[in-house]
Amino acid sequence: MTKTPPETLRPASRLVGAGRREEWTGTPGQPGAVVSPPVWRASTHLYADTAALKEGPRKNEDGRFYYGRRGAPTQWALAEALTALEPGAGPEGGTMLYPSGVAAIAGAVLAAVRPGDVLLMTDNAYEPSRVLARGFLAEWGIETRWFDPLDLDGFAGKLCKRTKAVLLESPGSLTMEVQDVPELARMAHGAGACVILDNTWASPLGLAALSLGVDISVMSLTKHVGGHSDLMMGSATAPREWYQKLRRTAQVMGQVVSPDDAALALRGLRTMGVRLERETQSALAIAHWLEERPEVARVLCPMLPGSPGYDLWRRDFTGGCGLFSLVLRGKDAAARNALIDALSLFGIGYSWGGFESLVTPLDPAGARSASSWPLAGMDEADRFGVRLSIGLEDPADLIADLERGLAAWTASGGGA
Ligand SMILES: *Cc1c(COP(=O)(O)O)cnc(C)c1O
C-alpha cells in the first residue's frame, strides 16, 4: 500500500490516518500491522548492553525509547496525530501531552514566562487559567494583566516591554466572545510576546490556530478528543521553536500521560470530526429555537448571527461545536436552578464535548476584571443563565427537554 502524504489530505481523512506508523502498530518480524496502536505499558526500557544504555539518553529524540517518562508508541502516536491535525505546525513542530487541559495551559505559560515578565490574559479565560495567574504565577513574580476580549485598542494599550506571553481563548469560556486572533497575534508579536491560544472549543478542525499566527495551540483533550467523558488529558502543539521550549518545560516538570488514556484519546480522535459536525448542527437548531423564546434574553453562541464576534467566527473558523450559553430574563437565580433541575436529558456536571448533553449554571459576573457582565448591548437586569453542551441525542428530544425546563422556570416565578 502506498501512502498519501498527510499534508495533501483534507481534515476528515487526516483524522483517520494520523499517527498510524507501522513501526508502532506492527509486530517485529511479521508483515502488516494492527489499525490502532496497542497500549504499551512501559516504565523500563531494556537495553542490549551498556553501550546502548549510554546511547539512549544522549540521543533523547522523540519517538525513541529511553525511559517511560518520555512515553511509548501509544503516546507518540497520539502526539503525532494531534500535530498532523494542526496546519502550520511544520515538519519539526510537535505536540506535548499533559495529564489535563489545565496542566497543558500551565505548561505552555511556564514555557514562555520568567520572573519579572507580564502575562496578558483574555478576560473571558477559563476560570482555572485565572486561578493559575492569581494564585501561583504571582508568587513567582509573574504579573498578569487582563484585557477585554473584544477591545483591540485596549489590548494594544496593555502591551509593554515586559509582556512575554498572551493567553487567548476564542470563543471564551462561558460568555463565548470570539476574538480577532490574527490581529491580536500580530500586535503581540510586535511587542515580542508569545501567543498561546486555548483552542479547546474549536479544536484544529474548527480553527487552524497556528496558521493564524498563534505560537502554541492548547487543547483540553478531556473534551472533544476524548469525547466520551472517561479521560482527562491536555495537549500543546507548536512549530519547532516553541515546541522545543514546551518539551523542555514538560520534561523537567515530569509530565507524562498514561498509555491507557492515550489509547482512549486516539480512539476518540478518530470520530471527533463526525461528532463535532453533528453537535454543531444540533446546537444551531437548539440555539435558533431558544432565540425565539420569550424567557430567553440572549443566546451566546458563536455560530449564531448577533453573538459577540460572530463576524470573526465566520471569517476565521471552519467549524463549531455543541457548547454555548443562554441568558435568562431577570435576576432570579432560584428560577434558573429550577430550570436546570427540571431537565432530564442534560446531565448536571462540569466538562463538555462528550456524547451526552450537559448543563451548568452560568453566572460569569465574579470571573471578570477588565470587562463587564452583562456584556455590552445586554440588559443590565439580565444576569443568570445556563451553559449547554449539546451531545449526540436527537435535537428534537433536547428541545422538548428544554421546553420542560423553561416551563419550570416560569412556574418558579422566573418571569415575574
Ligand atoms: C475544561 C477546559 C480546560 C481544562 O481542561 P481539563 O482537562 O479539565 O483540565 C481548559 N480550557 C477550557 C476552555 C476548558 O473548557
How many A from CA of 220 to the centre of ligand 1? 5
The confidence score (pLDDT) of residue 392 equals: 98
Going by pLDDT thresholds of 50, 70 and 90, the confidence category of residue 60 is confident
Out of 14, 70, 123, 126, pick the active-site residue. 126
For 360, phi then psi, to 5°, come to: -140, 155
Q: Which residue has the higher pLDDT, 160 or 381?
A: 160
- Spatial separation of the C-alpha atoms in residues 278 and 256, rounded to whole Å: 32
Known catalytic residue at 198: yes
- 241: pLDDT strictly greater than 70: yes
Task: Give the tens place of pLDDT for each residue, 288-333.
Answer: 999 999 999 999 999 999 999 999 999 999 999 999 999 999 989 9
Task: Give the tens place of pLDDT for each residue, 115-125.
Answer: 999 999 999 99
Atom of ligand 1 at shortest range from CA of 125: 13
* Site to substitute for ligand 1 among 98, 122, 124, 126, most atoms within 8 A of C-beta: 126
Place of cell 446546537: 283
How many A from CA of 71 to the centre of ligand 1? 23
Known catalytic residue at 247: no
* Residues 71-77, mean pLDDT to the nearest whole number: 95
Atom of ligand 1 at shortest range from CA of 223: 1
Out of 70, 130, 164, 223, pick the active-site residue. 223
Residue pair 85/14 in contact (Cβ under 8 Å)? The answer is: yes
- Amino acid at residue number 325: S
Going by pLDDT thresholds of 50, 70 and 90, the confidence category of residue 1 is low
Residue pair 413/339 in contact (Cβ under 8 Å)? The answer is: no
The confidence score (pLDDT) of residue 2 equals: 60
The confidence score (pLDDT) of residue 51 equals: 93
Domains of the chain: 10-267 (3.40.640.10), 272-411 (3.90.1150.10)
For 68-193, strand residue ranges (E) read 94-98, 118-122, 143-147, 163-169
Task: Give the tens place of pLDDT for each residue, 164-189.
Answer: 999 999 999 889 999 999 999 999 99
Known catalytic residue at 161: no
Any residues with CB less than 8 A from the CB of 294 and at least 6 apart, and which?
329, 415
Q: How far is CA 179 from CA 116, 133, 197, 264, 307, in A?
A: 27, 20, 11, 32, 12
* Residues 52-80, mean pLDDT to the nearest whole number: 88
- 7: pLDDT strictly greater than 80: no
Q: Which residue has the higher pLDDT, 371 or 84?
A: 84
Any residues with CB less than 8 A from the CB of 57 and at least 6 apart, and which?
66, 67
Q: Which residue has the higher pLDDT, 260 or 66?
A: 260
How many A from CA of 101 to the centre of ligand 1? 5
Going by pLDDT thresholds of 50, 70 and 90, the confidence category of residue 106 is very high
Residues with CB under 6 A from ligand 1: 100-102, 126, 169, 173, 198, 200, 220, 222-223, 232, 234, 351
Known catalytic residue at 47: no
How many A from CA of 13 to the centre of ligand 1? 27
Going by pLDDT thresholds of 50, 70 and 90, the confidence category of residue 377 is confident
The confidence score (pLDDT) of residue 30 equals: 86
Residue pair 97/75 in contact (Cβ under 8 Å)? The answer is: yes
Mean pLDDT for all residues in the chain: 94
Any residues with CB less than 8 A from the CB of 17 and at least 6 apart, and which?
6, 9
Going by pLDDT thresholds of 50, 70 and 90, the confidence category of residue 364 is confident
